[in-house]
Amino acid sequence: MIEIIPAIDLIDGRCVRLSQGSFQKKTVYPADPVDMAVWFMDKGFRRLHMVDLDGAGEGRMKNLHVLEKAASKTSLVIDYGGGIKSVQDVMLLIDHGASMVCIGSMAVASPPEFEKVLESTGSDRVILASDIKDGTIAVSGWKEDSGIDPAGFLRENIAKGVKTVMCTDVSRDGMFTGPAAELYRSLKKEFPETAIIASGGVSSAGDIEILEGIGLEGVVVGKAFYENRINTEELKKYLH
């Protein structure tokens, strides 16, 4: 059964959601991020995807205090991404309560350092972020086009030991247009042994069922919760 992974995106320690990755299309929510993490746990979710948008944009992690509080007040398995540049950063995140790290830009900009992360932490604690914008891998908070082919990017890193990939179609993120089902279907066909987590565009429980039918291991849901597009009652069969 597919796992639903709620998302908390952070700017200045506050819950936000972007549309298509644009900081100019930002919605700030009144909910405290730690309170949201507790709410997700109480509803039966086991995982949490936490994104440091400040860190992604500036190249250094800036919301560790939120991670630490959320980890101390919940039993959620938290994966954290944004601004991770080194093995030392990864160790700092683990010290602050992250169970897993989600890394994209480092794998593009510094493959040797990314390999060190895989070796030092073990691949079970690493999620490779494959953020696709206009057909290529986007980096630095989706602001830069790497020019790298997504399939080749995955192939290369799976060969290095990556077991889990989070793939985001940036054009759909925060837009409620439905997930990129054909993209995920093609990735799952090419990489059947890799755990693939979908992200972007989910607007209904029906979208989740489509992704489950493809055989994906997980799906990130963010804005649909904050905008009340999905009721947790609809998701009971996925919760624990």
pLDDT digits (tens, 9 = 90+) for 46-86: 999 999 999 888 888 999 999 999 999 999 999 999 999 99
Q: For residue range 95-133, what is the model confidence (pLDDT) as tens digits?
A: 999 999 999 999 999 999 999 999 999 999 999 999 888
pLDDT at site 218: 98
Candidate list 52, 89, 131, 173, residue with the active-site label: 131
Supply the pLDDT for residue 47.
98
Query: Residue 162: which of 118, 101, 220, 98 has the closest Cα?
Result: 118
Whole-Å CA distances, 95 to 90, 113, 195: 9, 19, 25
- The pLDDT-based confidence of 134 (bands split at 50, 70, 90) is confident
Active site annotation includes 9: yes
pLDDT higher at 140 or 204: 204
Write down the pLDDT at residue 144: 64
The active-site residue, picked from 9, 79, 169, 173, is 9
DSSP designation for 74? -
pLDDT at 140: 65
Annotated catalytic residue 134: no
- Alpha-carbon separation of residue 29 from 49, 94, 165, 201, 210 (angstroms): 17, 27, 28, 19, 28
Position with higher pLDDT, 33 vs 141: 33
Residue 110's Cβ-count burial label (10 Å; 0-12, 13-18, 19+) is: middle
Angstrom CA distances, 14 to 39, 54, 203, 223, stand at 16, 11, 22, 14
Domain total in the chain: 1
Supply the CATH number for residue 234's domain: 3.20.20.70
Q: Is 122 exposed, middle or buried (0-12, 13-18, 19+ CB in 10 A)?
A: exposed
Q: What's the pLDDT at 177?
A: 79
Query: Residue 229 gets which letter from DSSP?
Result: S
Q: Using the structure block, give the residue that is written with the tokens 């100019």.
A: 24
Query: If you search the block for the tokens 């799952």, which residue do you land on?
Result: 188
Query: At residue 145, does pLDDT exceed 90?
Result: no
User: Which pLDDT score is estimated for 175?
Assistant: 63
Residue 103 domain boundaries: 3-238
User: Residue 95 burial (CB < 10 Å; 0-12/13-18/19+)?
Assistant: exposed
* 172 pLDDT above the threshold of 80: no
What is the arithmetic mean of pLDDT over 169-192?
86
**Confidence grade of residue 28 (pLDDT, cut at 50, 70, 90):** confident
